């Protein structure tokens, strides 16, 4: 006998609302119209498959009404008429990040790690001074910016990890390429903690965007306020906290004094050319430079809004022809999981304190041989 399950249509609608999966595909695979109209009931297996495909925890589908789920961190996202329901993917990556953070916090406390002094240390400082502290702590001076933009992102991530923080840079839930994160929903978040501050960057955005997001999330940590954001350089931010964090991020990437010096060389060049040159100097996006020129008054920009729009269009055209290369799981993992957390998990598991299965789960790993090889590659075995 086949077990059929009662599903509240409102709960199904909710699931479709929060899913990151292709809704048409779900309609093709499942008899959603009939379920929604209560003309048919799914079997247990069908509903389980649907939960998996939609990326929604199965248990929620059995509730009589949609769950009131909300972000467990302050929501600083802007540009919405009404605050949208967080997607299942976003809830999933926040939950996963919190589990990793909790584990690492316990681990670090057991090792006798002292609270990190920089967390919340800049809360009372004006953006210029806060940015100077962050640059200095991360060893991210303008004169040190070499190589590609990917190198610059790496320098930011590694700088923060060296200070004792955790980083996660990924574009999907776990290693599931079918649950990719929506860059329009959020660009990153910071989970502030004085032992295990965690910074998450959604890598489903340009490298320039990721670099700005990282600087912004660092600002959150130095201010001591957790938060999730979809910030871009266009708006100054609607809340005081976002305004402050954006100003700090901008100043971290493009320090006022350096900007004045370097802009002198291209002061007479057309704006677009000056933006390219300066973005290369600072290893950030042209939009960040444009915003900084405007903010500091280093260059007089006739119509800022129009210039910004024009640059957005130019960048969009440039990015048309982008392709993605291959990858190596063992190279990718330190970015997706974070190197500090990886090393800690491996070390603790090999010493028998954390079960290997638990370490593998926290690192989204499937086989023991992958764990061994990863440990070997990291030089942690």
Partner DNA sequence: GGTACAATCCTCCACGGGAG
Partner DNA sequence: CTCCCGTGGAGGATTGTACC
Q: Which of 85, 98, 121, 175 binds DNA (CB under 7 A)?
A: 175
Rounded CA separation 224/37 (Å): 48
Rounded CA separation 81/72 (Å): 21
Closer to DNA by CB, 4 or 376: give it.
376
Q: Which of 87, 101, 152, 203 binds DNA (CB under 7 A)?
A: 203
Conformational region of residue 72, where left means phi above 0, alpha means psi within -120 to 50, and beta covers everything else: alpha
Binding-residue total with DNA (CB under 7 A): 39
Q: Which of 27, 34, 45, 178 binds DNA (CB under 7 A)?
A: 178
Burial of 3 (0-12, 13-18, 19+ CB in 10 A): exposed
Binding to DNA by residue 180, rule CB under 7 A?
yes
**To the nearest whole angstrom, how small is the minimum distance from the Cβ of residue 15 to DNA?**
14
Binding mask 101-140 vs DNA (x if CB under 7 A, - otherwise)? ----------------------------------------
- Residue burial 187-209, b: 16+ Cβ < 10 Å; e: rest: bbbbbbbbbbbbbbbbbbbbbbb
- Contact call for residues 344 and 375 (beta carbons, < 8 A): no
Looking up tokens 């003309």 gives 39
Binding to DNA by residue 319, rule CB under 7 A?
no
3-state secondary structure of 190: strand
Burial of 84 (0-12, 13-18, 19+ CB in 10 A): middle
Binding to DNA by residue 147, rule CB under 7 A?
yes
Closer to DNA by CB, 277 or 296: give it.
277
> For residues 267-296, which are near DNA according to CB under 7 A?
280
Burial of 266 (0-12, 13-18, 19+ CB in 10 A): middle
Binding to DNA by residue 174, rule CB under 7 A?
yes
Closer to DNA by CB, 176 or 235: give it.
176
Q: Which of 108, 163, 172, 337 binds DNA (CB under 7 A)?
A: 172
Binding mask 335-364 vs DNA (x if CB under 7 A, - otherwise)? x----------------------------x
**To the nearest whole angstrom, how small is the minimum distance from the Cβ of residue 212 to DNA?**
16
Rounded CA separation 202/381 (Å): 30
Closer to DNA by CB, 130 or 274: give it.
274
**To the nearest whole angstrom, how small is the minimum distance from the Cβ of residue 122 to DNA?**
28
Binding to DNA by residue 325, rule CB under 7 A?
yes
User: For 266, what's the count of Cα atoms within 13 Å in the CB-facing half-sphere?
Assistant: 20
Q: Which of 5, 16, 40, 53 binds DNA (CB under 7 A)?
A: 53
**To the nearest whole angstrom, how small is the minimum distance from the Cβ of residue 18 to DNA?**
16
The residues, ordered by sequence, that sit 6+ positions from 94 with a Cβ below 8 Å of its Cβ are 71, 72, 73, 189, 191, 200, 228
**To the nearest whole angstrom, how small is the minimum distance from the Cβ of residue 275 to DNA?**
15
For residue 190, the cross-strand partners are 199, 227
| Residues of this chain that bind DNA (CB under 7 A) | 25, 29, 52-53, 146-148, 150-151, 154, 169, 171-172, 174-178, 180, 203-204, 280, 324-332, 335, 364-367, 369-370, 373
């Amino acid at each position: 006998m086949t077990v059929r399950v009662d599903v509240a249509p409102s709960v199904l609608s909710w699931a479709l609302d929060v899913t990151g999966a292709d809704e048409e595909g779900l309609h093709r695979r499942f008899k959603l119209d009939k379920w929604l109209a209560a003309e048919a009931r799914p079997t247990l297996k069908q509903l389980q498959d649907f939960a998996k495909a939609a990326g929604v925890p199965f248990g929620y589908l059995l509730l009589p009404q949609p769950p009131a789920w909300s972000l467990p961190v302050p929501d600083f996202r802007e540009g919405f008429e009404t605050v949208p329901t967080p997607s299942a993917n976003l809830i999933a990556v926040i939950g996963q990040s919190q589990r990793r953070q909790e584990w690492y916090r316990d681990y670090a406390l057991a090792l006798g790690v002292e609270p990190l002094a920089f967390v919340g240390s800049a809360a009372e400082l004006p953006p210029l001074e806060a940015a100077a502290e962050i640059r200095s702590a991360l060893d991210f001076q303008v004169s040190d910016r070499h190589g590609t933009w990917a190198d610059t992102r790496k320098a930011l991530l590694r700088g923060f990890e060296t200070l004792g923080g955790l980083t996660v840079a990924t574009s999907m839930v776990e290693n599931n390429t079918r649950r990719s994160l929506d860059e329009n929903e959020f660009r990153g978040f910071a989970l502030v903690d004085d032992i295990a501050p965690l910074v998450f960057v959604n890598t489903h955005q340009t490298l320039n965007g990721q670099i700005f997001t990282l600087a912004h999330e660092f600002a959150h940590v130095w201010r001591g306020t957790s938060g999730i954001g979809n910030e871009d350089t266009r708006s100054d931010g609607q809340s005081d906290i976002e305004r402050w964090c954006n100003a700090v991020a901008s100043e971290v990437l493009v320090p006022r004094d350096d900007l004045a010096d370097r802009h002198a060389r291209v002061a007479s060049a057309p704006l677009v050319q000056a933006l390219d040159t300066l973005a290369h100097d600072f290893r950030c996006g042209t939009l960040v430079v444009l915003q900084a020129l405007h903010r500091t008054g280093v260059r007089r920009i006739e119509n800022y809004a129009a210039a910004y729009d024009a640059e957005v269009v130019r960048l969009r055209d440039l990015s048309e022809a982008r392709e993605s290369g291959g990858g190596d799981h063992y190279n990718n993992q330190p970015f997706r999981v974070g190197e500090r957390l990886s090393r800690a998990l491996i070390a603790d598991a090999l010493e028998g304190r954390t079960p290997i299965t638990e370490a593998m789960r926290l690192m989204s790993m499937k086989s023991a041989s992958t764990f061994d090889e990863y440990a070997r590659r990291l030089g942690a075995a």
